[in-house]
Amino acid sequence: MKKRERFGSRFAVIAAMAGSAVGLGNIWRFPYVLGQYGGAAFILVYIAASLLVALPIFFAESVIGRRSGRDTYGAMQLLAPGTAWKWAGLLTILSPLLILSYYSVVGGWSVEFLFKSLSFTFTENASEAEVSGYFGHFISSTWQPILSHTLFMTMVAGVVLGGVKNGIERFSKVAMPLLFVLILFIVGYSLTLPGSRAGVEYLVKPDFSRLNADAYAAALGQAFFSLSLGVGTVLTYASYVKKEENLVVSGVGTAVSDLLFAMIAAFAVMPAVFAAGIEPGSGPGLVFQTLPYIFNKMSQAMPITSALVSIAFFLTILAAALTSAISMLEVGVAYLVDEKGMERRKATLLLAFGTWLLGVLCSLSFGPLAHIKLLGLSFFDFLDALCSNWLLPLGGVLFTLFVGWRMSKADVRDELTNGGTCNVRLFGLVYFLMRYLAPIGIVVVFLSNLFL
Ligand code: PHE
């Protein structure tokens, strides 16, 4: 078998893992979920969920991935041969592809909005009504969003074709730092808007009366989505991590970058939402409706600056979405290459095409196919609910049970402490969280999704 590729350095590992974690989940999903559950108090619950439940699962996936050095299915076959665990492996090859199909549609929206910014559509002589109505008009049309979705998927496949080191690593190392710079720039801009103070207060003054049981489930679901957990992404990337790398350090590095980025994104978006007088709980269109409105308003006073900021903003979203989407595709590609001996090129094209096709249905479900409902939801909403509420937590619970209860404690210790050379003191705590707290936390989310 051809020698498996490895990430070149610790920075490369964190850039790729954080690249997967930081994405539309932070910039598009976090602000609107936060808006639906009432601001600062939700943030506190989200931080707790990320550190106490999500991070241990991140470690669990890392352990399986690096221990086996294989794709999700191969890992289960190697570490628990001949058992039903292989189904966990197969499930987590399927779920990231399902996510990718609708994620690519939203990625396509960012492509479209970037083009619109580049052609000054939001900033030059457009009326307020045109700009704020643009999102609804665009997503419900037939061809345009499919075209953007196609462009997005082509870019994703292009990077994955390049392989781990030349494609994923190289792209992430440039895109991630750039992303931080761009988003900080936008925060600065957003905070200067008249009326933005209310948005800042919304983010820092907790109002616990708005936290209901639903909010806890939403916070955990968001933490899962945001850290790319339960779908084999972390596992697959960890299989490319060298033996001497410290898994706890790269896990914490990734989780902290992801949290930090979500917070920064909230400070970029919420003040603008308040300045625009838009309802923070207004749902998935929040970012795409608020920002163009703001850019349009500002262009009356500062045409050039607002055009540049608008370009920077949608470029940021696009770059973040790409590094995440790449990681979703890589899970399936790794499987076909490792287990089926398929060429990387063929595997990438095959899976990209399949998910693209499913994505077309998601895209059409905002327009011509809007009347088709599955369990009362449009196709897009159905897939999102299926993945975020069910498949991610299910995958997560399987991985942590595998590490906590199926693998031997000695093996887990060996992997997390690099044979007893690091994190020795921390191990007990991490193991406890993986074995008890994380699975229990997830089961609570499951049950609350079922009964609330
Ligand atoms: N974490 C990514 C984001 O925040 C989404 C993602 C989910 C990526 C699952 C990979 C796997 O956008």
In a domain, 5, yes or no: no
Could you tell me the distance, in angstroms and rounded to a whole number, from the CA of residue 257 to the centre of ligand 1?
A: 14
Atom of ligand 1 nearest to the CA of 320: 12
- The binding-site residues of ligand 1, defined as CB within 6 angstroms of any ligand atom, are 20-21, 23-26, 96, 99, 225-226, 228, 231, 233, 324, 327-328
Which residue from 33, 98, 225 has its CB within 8 A of the most atoms of ligand 1, so it is best to mutate? Answer: 225
Residues 190, 134: Cα–Cα separation, whole Å: 21
Residue 262 confidence (pLDDT): 94
Question: What are the residues whose beta carbons fall under 8 Å from the beta carbon of 193, sequence distance 6 or more?
Answer: 271, 272, 275, 294, 298
Sign of the alpha-carbon torsion through 259, 266, 47, 59? negative
Q: State the distance from the centre of ligand 1 to the C-alpha of 226, rounded, in angstroms.
A: 5
| Residue 282: predicted pLDDT | 78
Could you list the residue range(s) of the whole structural domain that residue 204 is in? 10-451
Which amino acid makes up residue 42? F
Q: How many angstroms is it from 24 CA to the middle of ligand 1?
A: 7
With H, G, I as helix, E, B as strand and everything else as coil, classify residue 197: helix
| 135 within some domain | yes
CA of 370 to the centre of ligand 1 (A): 25
DSSP state of 28: I
Judge whether 225 lies within some domain: yes
Q: Give the per-residue pLDDT at 278.
A: 85
Q: Has this prediction a pTM greater than 0.75?
A: yes
Number of domains in the chain: 1
> Is 237 a domain residue?
yes
- For residue 25, which atom of ligand 1 is closest to its CA? 4
Q: For residue 115, how far is its CA from the centre of ligand 1 (angstroms)?
A: 24
Q: Look at residue 91 and tell me if it is in a domain.
A: yes
For atom 6 of ligand 1, which residue has the closest CA? 228
**Ligand 1 atom closest to 324 (CA):** 8
Is 14 part of a structural domain of the chain? Answer: yes
Q: Return the best residue to mutate from 27, 29, 101, 233 for the ligand 1 pocket (most ligand atoms within 8 A of CB).
A: 233
CATH number, domain of 396, equals 1.10.4160.10
Which atom belonging to ligand 1 lies closest to the Cα atom of 21? 1
pLDDT at 403: 94
pLDDT of residue 2: 53
DSSP code of residue 125: S
Tell me if 2 is assigned to some domain.
Answer: no
Q: How far is CA 302 from the centre of its chain?
A: 33
Per residue of the chain (452 residues), give pLDDT as tens: 456 778 777 778 887 888 889 899 998 899 988 988 888 999 999 999 999 999 999 999 999 999 999 989 999 999 999 999 999 999 999 999 999 999 999 999 999 999 988 888 777 767 777 777 888 888 899 999 999 999 999 999 998 888 777 767 777 777 777 778 878 888 888 888 888 899 999 999 988 887 877 788 888 888 999 999 999 999 998 998 888 889 999 899 999 989 999 999 999 899 988 988 888 887 778 888 888 887 887 787 778 888 888 888 888 888 889 989 998 998 899 899 988 999 999 999 999 999 999 999 999 999 888 888 888 888 998 898 888 878 898 999 999 999 999 999 999 999 989 888 988 888 999 999 999 999 998 887 778 767 76
Nearest atom, ligand 1, residue 227 CA: 1
pLDDT of amino acid 124: 72
pLDDT at 1: 45
